[in-house]
Structure 1
Amino acid sequence: MLTRRLPATVEPYRLAANHELLEGTIDLDALSRLAAEIGEQSGQAQVSLQFGRDAQRRNLIEGELSAQLQMPCRRCLKPMSVPVSSRFQLAVVSSDALASEVPSEYEPVLVDNEHLDLLGAIEDELLLSLPQVVYHEESACAVSRDQMQSGESADERAPARADSPFDVLKTLKGKL
């Protein structure tokens, strides 16, 4: 288990030139955008970042992260523990113009004055890794099976047999 805390900012060009590996943790309660999306979090995310360069001398970051997040169940809205993990490849760029030139297998990450907001980049990856919808198992959810159904039951939805418009023609035919 990793215990070293990752710094909030790094110098990615220097780390890439030296092919450095950063491994450590970040506190989930420090991630405000994540808290706004799914609620306050506690605990830590485990992060591994390999800095390097490709054949075209692009500065790259290959990363992995994993965390145990508390997300609201979409049925009962009570928190549930959800494991989240991600593998990602980032290309370090210094401008939006350079970001448009990054190959599609990489996500561009913008550097300001040769410093990368590492916590912001990791928070972005966590947000992108969130599952769309999470539910408790039926047996563990506070919402009962009856409450999970919406609308009317199948018997109530069946329309009453309407009179056929041709019934009128039958009566007319009988009178002739």
Structure 2
Amino acid sequence: MTPLPRTVEPWRLAAAGERLEGCVLLSGLPRIVEAIGQQDAACRVVLNFDIDQQRQHYIEGRLDVDVQLPCQRCLQPMPVSLESEFLLGMVTGDERAAALPGRYEPVMVDDEQLDLLPMIEDELLLTLPQVVYHDEEDCAVSRAALSSGEEGEPAPARADNPFSVLRSLKNH
């Protein structure tokens, strides 16, 4: 698959109803590298530029990539598929962004140019899972190794209650 261009003229692409398909190397997305570590993967991206019936210029996009993320139990890498579908309304300022119909998320277009990499990086960051675990039978760490005591066992009582001094003062 061919690399996506770094910048595009989104107004022109929307007026022509253009479609861009390509890939973006995750190693070229610094916030992704910071969030999930170095990856040797390429994100597949499809972007459809168009204008709706209310004359709103928009980008309908889809992206997917397979990455390796550490399991939160055993810290061993595991495959995770990241997928996203999004609908972005092109705007030139905050006032226009606030006036966008609810189905669109705003994307700022400055000087007739749109830098695609930060936009794609934002969408990828939104798809990252909160936690990642192997299935229990595939994980190097068992559930028993993670528990801190018998189920239903009460926590041990503290012998030295810090409020016992206050209680003794109150009783006098």
TM-score range, shorter chain: 0.7 to 0.9
Pick aligned residue for 1:105 from 95, 103, 106: 103
TM-align CA RMSD: 1.7
Secondary structure of 2:62's counterpart equals: strand
- Structure 1, residues 21-64: CA drift from partner, whole Å, max 9, x if none? 00111111111101111211111011100000011111100011
Q: Segments of 4+ in structure 1 off by > 3 A?
A: none
Distance apart, 1:139 and its partner CA: 2.1
State the AA in 1 paired with 2:57.
Answer: N
**Residue in structure 2 matched with residue 164 of structure 1 by the alignment:** none
State the AA in 2 paired with 1:125.
Answer: E
**Residue in structure 2 matched with residue 174 of structure 1 by the alignment:** none
**Residue in structure 1 matched with residue 36 of structure 2 by the alignment:** 38
Secondary structure of 2:12's counterpart equals: helix
Secondary structure of 2:73's counterpart equals: coil
- Structure 1, residues 109-141: CA drift from partner, whole Å, max 9, x if none? 011111111011011111111111110111221
Taking every aligned residue pair, what percent have the same amino acid on both sides? Answer: 51
Q: Which has the larger radius of gyration?
A: 1
Secondary structure of 1:154's counterpart equals: coil
Unaligned stretches of 5+ in structure 2?
Answer: 157-172
Pick aligned residue for 1:154 from 145, 151, 156: 151
Pairs within 5 Å for 1:73-92: 73-92=71-90
Distance apart, 1:158 and its partner CA: 8.3
Supply the distance in 2 between the matched residues of 1:104 and 1:77 (Cα, whole angstroms).
39
Secondary structure of 2:140's counterpart equals: coil
Supply the distance in 2 between the matched residues of 1:6 and 1:147 (Cα, whole angstroms).
46
Supply the distance in 2 between the matched residues of 1:154 and 1:52 (Cα, whole angstroms).
57
Q: 1:86 to 1:158 in 2, by over 3 A?
A: closer
**Residue in structure 2 matched with residue 9 of structure 1 by the alignment:** 7
Distance apart, 1:156 and its partner CA: 4.0
TM-score (norm 1): 0.84
**Residue in structure 2 matched with residue 169 of structure 1 by the alignment:** none
Supply the distance in 1 between the matched residues of 2:155 and 2:57 (Cα, whole angstroms).
64
Distance apart, 1:155 and its partner CA: 6.3
Unaligned stretches of 5+ in structure 1?
Answer: 160-176
TM-score (norm 2): 0.86
Pick aligned residue for 2:136 from 138, 145, 161: 138
